[in-house]
């Protein structure tokens, strides 16, 4: 079964980051929206008829269509190391009714290379209506949430979670490898690639996890016209906002 997310709160996150809670008249594209958990938010003002979701998980798309039949669901069979390793690389985003007033992508580019992020953001930005907004989340390895009372940074939190899942391992080398770099990618809980998209050759059946981290200042340099905001609602992810 392909990945179906149990994460909720996406509407409140993006509404807080963008500073706009009135979405009922907006045409929305939830890119990587999985099963449309955004629509389940109690405060969500999105009209299902104006909501489109694109995701690489066929099971998530099927679940979203079952839960919210008036919305629009599109499976995107593009390669993703973590969620769709048999998909096609560099596949163009499927056609949609354009333009959109708001395009959001929550925790999408936290699981891709930088090259794919830049390519995809460019495609998505072309689908914005005049005055439209594109907002996507990313993870700064140095940030730690106020509720994270042990003081763990995002990177250390991730490594701690991995240790809980796979058993104890020496995390110090991975932490050192992430120091003084602009970005890094953690592959299969063991390889940390710094300032590069040069991923190791790993057989498809062994492609398990890919977590991308960007320091906020560096991410801002990639999108100089964007507003980069700190996490909202005690989330761990920053937000990059591009306006047309």
Mean pLDDT, range 16-37, rounded to an integer: 97
pLDDT in tens, 176-197: 889 999 999 999 888 899 999 9
Residues whose CB falls within 8 Å of the CB of residue 130, separated by 6 or more in sequence, listed in order? 99, 244
pLDDT in tens, 46-60: 999 999 999 999 999
Please tell me the number of Cα atoms within 13 Å of 89 on its side-chain side. 6
Mean pLDDT, range 7-18, rounded to an integer: 97
At residue 75, the pLDDT reads: 98
Phi, psi of 231 (to 5 degrees): -60, 145
Measured distance CA(189)–CA(174) in Å, rounded:
9
Domain ranges, ordered by start, for the chain:
10-139+219-243, 154-213
pLDDT in tens, 162-176: 878 767 777 788 888
Q: Would strands 183-187 and 28-31 be described as parallel, antiparallel, or unpaired?
A: unpaired
81, 111 in Cβ contact below 8 A? Answer: yes
At residue 24, the pLDDT reads: 95
Measured distance CA(76)–CA(79) in Å, rounded:
9
Measured distance CA(213)–CA(236) in Å, rounded:
11
Q: Specify the length of the chain in residues.
A: 244
pLDDT higher than threshold 90 for residue 226? yes
The answer regarding whether domain 10-139+219-243 maps to CATH 2.102.10.10 reads no
Q: Would strands 72-75 and 51-55 be described as parallel, antiparallel, or unpaired?
A: parallel
DSSP E strand stretches across the chain: 28-31, 51-55, 72-75, 100-105, 128-138, 183-187, 191-194, 210-214, 227-229, 238-243
Q: Is 106 left (phi over 0), alpha (psi -120 to 50) or beta?
A: beta
Measured distance CA(117)–CA(122) in Å, rounded:
8
12, 41 in Cβ contact below 8 A? Answer: yes
pLDDT in tens, 19-29: 999 999 999 99
Measured distance CA(109)–CA(174) in Å, rounded:
21
Q: Round the average pLDDT of the chain to a whole number and report it.
A: 94
pLDDT higher than threshold 80 for residue 104? yes
31, 103 in Cβ contact below 8 A? Answer: yes
| Sign of the torsion angle spanned by Cα atoms 85, 89, 95, 101 | positive
């Amino acid at each position: 079964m392909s990945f179906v997310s149990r994460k909720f709160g996406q509407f409140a996150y993006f509404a807080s980051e963008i500073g706009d809670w009135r979405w009922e008249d907006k045409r929305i594209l939830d890119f990587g929206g999985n099963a449309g958990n955004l629509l389940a938010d109690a405060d969500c003002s999105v009209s299902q008829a104006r909501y489109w979701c694109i995701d690489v998980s066929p099971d998530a798309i099927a679940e979203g269509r079952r839960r919210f039949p008036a919305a629009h669901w599109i499976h995107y069979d593009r390669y993703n190391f973590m969620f769709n390793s048999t998909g096609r690389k560099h596949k163009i985003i499927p056609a949609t009714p354009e333009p959109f007033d708001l395009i959001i992508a929550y925790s999408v580019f936290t699981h891709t290379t930088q090259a794919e992020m830049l390519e995809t953001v460019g495609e998505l930005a072309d689908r914005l209506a005049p005055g439209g907004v594109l907002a996507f989340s990313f993870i700064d390895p140095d940030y730690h949430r106020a509720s994270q009372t042990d003081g763990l940074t995002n990177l250390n939190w991730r490594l701690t979670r991995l240790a809980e899942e796979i058993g104890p391992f020496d995390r110090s080398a991975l932490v050192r490898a992430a120091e003084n770099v602009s970005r890094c990618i953690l592959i299969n809980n063991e390889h940390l690639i710094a300032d590069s998209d040069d991923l190791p050759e790993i057989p498809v059946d062994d492609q398990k996890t890919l977590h991308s981290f960007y320091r906020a200042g560096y991410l801002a340099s990639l999108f100089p016209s964007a507003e980069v905001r700190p996490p909202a609602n005690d989330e761990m992810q920053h937000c990059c906002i591009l306006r047309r």
